[in-house]
Amino acid sequence: MARYIKREMADLNGTGKKQAYYRMQTWRKMSHEEFVNKCTYPGSGVSRAMMDAVLTAVAEELPRLMGMGYSVRIDGLGTFNAKLGVREDKEQDSFEEGEQKRNAKSIEVHGIGFRADKELVSKTDRECDLARGGVSR
């Protein structure tokens, strides 16, 4: 059974009222090996070697494609894309006239954006049996 934690959030609207939001309590991080075992149960028709090969191919191809400027959508999972930012040793660019302009060497990938497929969210909700886990301030 999954548990949720109620957290207190600072007022962003200036009304003086505290807001509550909820997050899933994470028990631990499941390893790659455990995940592969869950996906390759007897009768699934998927071998461990096949599952490992597919996950390895995805992990190798995703960064290559995102690095080329593609946004990659995997049906049932979601969409991945690269997030850019200014290198740590450089200053943020501005739109002021006479301001030094950034070149491509000043920009780098700072993260990966992921937007979950709506069906993944729906399936996760159907599988979720929540119980109160506590309050965190």
Predicted structure pTM score: 0.75
- Could you identify the residue written with the tokens 């006239």? 97
Q: What span, in angstroms and rounded, lies between the C-alpha atoms of 134 and 4? A: 7
90-102 per-position pLDDT tens digit: 776 666 676 666 6
Contact present, 117 and 76 (Cβ < 8 Å): yes
The total of other beta-carbon atoms located within 10 Å of residue 99's CB is 10
pLDDT tens digits for range 25-81: 888 999 999 999 999 988 889 999 999 999 999 999 999 999 999 999 999 999 999
